Each structure stands twice: as C-alpha cells, then as structure tokens.
Amino acid sequence: MEQTPLNLMERLYLPSIFKGMAITFSHIFKKKATISYPEEQRPFSPVFRGLHVLNRDEEGRENCTACGLCAVACPAEAITMEAAERQPNEEHLYHEEKYAAKYEINMLRCIFCGLCEEACPKDAIYMSETFAPSNFTRQGFIYSKDQLLIPDPNTDKEKYQVAKGLRELNKKNK
Amino acid sequence: MTILQIDFFYFLEKLLLIGGVITFSLIIAMYTTYAERKVAAVLQDRLGPNRAGPFGLLQPLADGLKLFFKEEIIPLTSNKLLFVIGPALAMITAMLTSAVIPWGSSVNIFGRNVSLQIADVNIGILYVFGVVSLGVYGIMIGGWASNNKFSLIAAVRGASQIISYELAMGLSLIALLMMTGSLSLKTIVEQQMNGAWGGFLGWNVLYQPFGFLIFLICAFAECNRTPFDLPEAENELNFGYHQEYSSMKLGFYLFAEYINMFISSAIVATLFFGGYDIPFVNEITLAHTLGGNVVALLGVAALLAKISFFLFFFMWVRWTIPRFRYDQLMDLGWKKLIPLALANMLITAIIILWLNK
C-alpha cells in the first residue's frame, strides 16, 4: 500500500481535529436511537418465541393429552408431566380421555427453541410474545400448569380474548 | 493586647471562603461526572442517564453511594502506607490550586469588603505551576505502591507525560507574562477588564492566540484527558495506575481528575478569557444601577459560564479524537510544542519592543 507523506495541513492535526469536532457536534442535533424501555417497546415479529401457553379448544376444554412428545422433543429436558384419566364428570374440562394432571416447565432450563410447539400433535402448546419475567428464587421459575394455561373462556372471557387476540392479530398481519 | 488587635473577622471570612470553594469544587466535580455521561451520550446518538431523579440529576449521588458501599481491597503485597497516601495526594494537589483563582471581584457584606479570592499571592501563576508539578506524585506513588507491573508502567507514562507538558505550558505563559507584567492572577484579570467593548477587547486570547492554543493542549495533557489519556488507557493498560484501587480511594482518583479538569478550565478562563469579566458590559456603570454585590455575583456567574464551556470542550474533544501513541505523545510535547512556545515568546518579545519604541 502506498503511503504518501502527510502534507502540511495534515501534519498540523488541527484542521482534521476541527472537522472531526464539527461532525461530533452535529450529532447532538440528530435523532437519538435509544428506546426508553418500559414506556416504549420494540415490536416483535409474529413468530417470536416467548413464554409457553397451553391452549384450549373453542368450548374451553384443555387440549393437552399428556402424550409426552413435547417432553421428548425438548433438547434441554425442561418439560415434565404426569398423565391422568378423565373421569365422567370432568368431560367439560378436558378434550380427550387422557389429560395432564401435573405439567411443569422449568424456565431456567428452557432455551426457547420452539421444538415443543412443533412437536405437539394437538396444537396444545405454543409460544407467545411475552418475556419470562424475573424472580427471586429458582423454585419460582418452575412454572406449573395453572401458570401456563390460557385463561378459560367460560369463566374469564375477557382475559381469554386478550390472550388470543395478540396471536390472531399477528396471524392476520403476516 | 496584641490578641485584640488581630482581625478575627478576617479569619472567619477566609475560613468561610475556603469552605465554600471546597464544597463548590466537590459539587461541581460530582456534576461534571454527570455532565460527562450526558455529553458523551448526546454526542453518540443516545440518551444519557435519565432514571435516577428528574433527568438523572441524582445519578452522581448514586455513583458516590455505590463507591462507598464497595469492599475496600488493599493488596497484600502492596506498600500499605503509600497505597493510601496516593489518592489523598492527588486530591490535595487538585484542591490546592483553587486557592489563588479569583472567583469574583469583591462583595460588600456588613460594611466589610470581602474579596472572593482566597489568597492573592503576587506569584499566583508560579504557585499554580508548583502545585501542578506536585500532582505527579499522586500518580507516581499510586501506581508504584500497587506492586503491579501494569500500574507501574502506567504511572511512569503518566509522570513522564505530565512533566513533559509542564515545560510547554510554562513557556507559553512567559509570553503572556511579558504582556501583563505581573504574576498575580487578580492583576491579570483586572488588566483584561480594562479593555474596550466592556472588557472584550482586553481578553488575552485576542493577543496571544498561539499561547492559548499551546496552553490548552498542555492542559489536556496535564489532566490525563484524551487524546493524552494513555496512563488510564482502558484497553491497553487494564485501567492504568488506578487498577488496584477500589471503593473510595478509586473514587478519589477519579474525582481528582475531574477537579483538575475544573481547575484547568478555571485557569484558562482566568488567564485568557477575562476571568470574572462580563463581556460587552461595563461593570462600573452596572454597579451604579444594580449595586456592587450583584455585579460581583454576576461576575462569578460569568466565570462559571466560561468554565462550563471549557468543560464541554474537554468532553467534546474526548469523544472525537483517538488516543495518541506514547512515542507520538512525547514527540508532540518535546519536539513540537516547546519550539512553538519558544517561537511564540520570541515573536511576542519582538512585537512588544517594536511597539514600545
């Protein structure tokens, strides 16, 4: 590479320093790139993999049949479950005859890869857009079924609509 | 009988003035750290700290508290006494210089004329230089006492940088002193106030532009400020001479740097920009309408405005220019600035002799 010796104006350093300072000064008046977090938030893409949600069908019955495919698919072994049989008086609660009595996801192990969502044959688990919130103890990060289930449309209609709404809105926007 | 003849009120006013100036320097140094972060942010297209208090104004308090609560680690193999003395020396020499800066003219309280300068020694500038030279000890002792090779290299670099640039600083001031004829800072300010246009045409920067430039560059080097911040180079020397320090001793070093910056700005403003002179305003006629005290306070405000501009300038340059390499730094100080300062001195001498004929 050719290195031409510096001419007098360059050797003085001062003219180029002043040019640099003018550039820096002009940055004071440009728009700032910072997003003030809790007040403004960055939009996520519709396929963003956030917290898991256990789905229900249109009548409000839980979809999950405790087949265990999500637990097998999980590369971090974060999901554990125990199955139970549906009793005759619980027909309005569960979609199939087998349901998950205990379903736990350890958020500290989960890598948010989405393989459980892909593996589920019943469209029972999907990943929403929220972050995993913070907590003080490790125990608090093991989410049980009631923390993961989508709200019941029969009892909490508004919360169900809100929870579903984001998903539907994003599907429409795709 | 002689005890009753001592003017005790003089002691009181000096004590109050000293207390006031020290508190003031500390508060300004605190908010200079805040201003540094805000100016750095604004120059880099981002917002600075704005969560602690309105507009982040309580951020320096949060930083200070954080430093107090950290664990105080003194390395086992270090020289314990010198380890503790280093930051104290840096802080003391930083504060000592503020004693001779004229902060304002004089205020008339209860019938006494209180001058707003702690000590009007008639060798003001020489005193300033003497104290700044002592500042080298703070860095050298701190770096050496840490018993750490990186700190030692950084301290040696810092010391050599400071003593090289002191020479150019002194030489650039000789030309100024030839013009003013006095070393006392108060006399220099008063001479500048007598210029035309309410004092603006008397400012020394108009008669000594090269002297000002050289002095400013040397002030950057004395404060260990980019582009001359090799002693505290964060990437090359692992944080430099204050690497082994934690908690409030580190706080003292960082604070001493900001107080040095503040004092250097004050001295530049005093020597070249008229000190507490309000430009374009004739102070004497203003004193007839507003009263002497108000004019003195306005003078203090004018000095603070000039100091703020120079502090902003320090930060502006910091975030614009990359750092000098060590040999380039020494080259600049010895081979370029000293001949320039000497040439400046000669030209000033020739012009003065020619004009006096």
Residues B192 and B200: beta-carbon distance below 8 Å: no
Dihedral angle sign, alpha carbons of residues B340, B342, B346, B349: positive
* Interface subset of B 113-132, CB within 8 angstroms of A: none
Cβ contacts of B44 on chain A, cutoff 8 Å? 27
Given an 8 Å threshold on Cβ–Cβ distance, is A21 in contact with B42?
no
Residue of B nearest to A38 (CA): B51
Distances in Å between the alpha carbon of B306 and those of A43, A149, B15? 45, 64, 26
Where are the domains positioned within chain B?
66-106+121-355
**For residue A169, pLDDT beyond 70:** no
CB contact (8 A) between residue B321 and residue A20: yes
- Determine the distance in angstroms separating the CA of B209 from the nearest CA of chain A, rounded to an integer: 14
* Nearby residues of B122 by Cβ (< 8 Å), 6 or more positions away: B182, B183, B184
A7 to chain B nearest CA, in Å? 16
How many angstroms separate the Cα of B230 from the Cα of each of A144, B158, B238, B328?
Answer: 55, 7, 11, 11
pLDDT at residue B354, as a whole number: 92
Residues near A123 by Cβ (< 8 Å), separated by ≥ 6?
Answer: A55, A63
| Closest Cα in chain B to A21 | B320
**Chunked mean pLDDT (size 10), chain B, 357 residues:** 71 88 89 91 88 86 88 84 88 88 83 80 88 86 83 84 89 89 88 79 86 91 80 62 79 87 90 85 79 85 92 90 85 90 93 88
Q: Which of B42, B46, B320 has the CB atom closest to A20's CB atom?
A: B320
Best B321, B323, B324, B329 member to test A by mutation, with max A CBs in 10 Å, is: B321
d(CA B164, CA B173): 15
CB pairs under 8 A between A and B: 33
User: Which residue is closest to B47 within chain A, CA to CA?
Assistant: A34
Residue positions counted in chain A:
174
Distance CA B255, CA A10 (A): 36
Report, as an integer, the average pLDDT of A83-105: 86
Which B residues, 48 through 67, put their C-beta within 8 Å of a C-beta on chain A? Answer: 50
Shortest Cα–Cα distance, A141 to chain B (Å):
28
Interface test with A, best of B37, B42, B340 (most A CBs within 10 A): B42
What phi, psi does B26 have (nearest 5°)? -65, -45
Q: Is B210 on the interface with A (CB under 8 A)?
A: no
Q: How far apart are CA A108 and CA A135, in angstroms?
A: 11
What are the residue boundaries of the structural domains of chain A, listed by start?
Answer: 52-173
pTM of the model: 0.82
> Which pLDDT score is estimated for A170?
53
What is the per-residue pLDDT for A174? 44
Predicted pLDDT of residue B312: 93
Q: Is the ipTM of this complex over 0.85?
A: no
Cα distance between residue B308 and residue A56, in whole Å: 64
Question: pLDDT digits over A137-155, tens only?
Answer: 988 888 888 777 777 777 7
Q: Which of B46, B47, B319 sits opposite A24 (nearest CB)?
A: B319
Which pLDDT does position A173 carry in this prediction? 52
Which residues does chain B have within 8 Å of residue A33's beta carbon, measured at their own beta carbons? 45-46
Which CATH entry fits the domain spanning A52-173: 3.30.70.3270, 3.30.70.20, 3.20.20.140, 3.10.290.10?
3.30.70.3270
